Amino acid sequence: MMSLSRILTGVIALLALPLLALAADKEPNPLLAKVKAELKDPTKPFTLTVQLQAKEGMQAKLEAAFAKAVKETRKEKGCLSYDLNRDAKEPTRYLVYERWKSLADLEAHLNSPHITALLGELKELLVAPPEGKVSVPAAE
């Protein structure tokens, strides 16, 4: 006869399989992959600029979605700067300026609840996926 602990272990393993499959199917964040590929030293500070283009008429919704995320992001460990900027001549174009102490800090940021929520909202508000550019300090 099987012990209760063996039965429970088997049940837990069966329940965990679908969760593991979901985690394996989760696509890595393309922005994070880009930063990882471009940084020589992931433990040093860097700047990430992200270009966004809102669908016509969606600017107010985009700015409202970011307002919540900006407030929370600025409180995060490793966040040196985080700002949403609107183009002065083309009101559907935006630039997010982010400065992070390390790649690990950016990765934690991208997995935070407020950024997960923001990324979900952005899918409906943007013309195309965000485009990121990585910069490192030149004179430090």
Q: For 78, phi and psi rounded to 5 degrees?
A: 90, -5
Predicted pLDDT at 140: 63
Please tell me the distance from the alpha carbon of residue 74 to that of residue 80, in angstroms, as a whole number.
8
- Residues 67-96: tens digit of each pLDDT: 999 999 999 999 999 999 999 999 999 999
Architecture of domain 26-135: 2-Layer Sandwich (3.30)
Burial letters for 10-31: b for 16+ Cβ neighbours within 10 Å, e otherwise? Answer: eeeeeeeeeeeeeeeeeeebeb
Q: What is the pLDDT of residue 29?
A: 82
Task: Check: pTM over 0.95? Answer yes or no.
Answer: no
Question: Per-domain residue ranges for the chain?
Answer: 26-135
**Cβ atoms of 108 and 78 closer than 8 Å:** yes
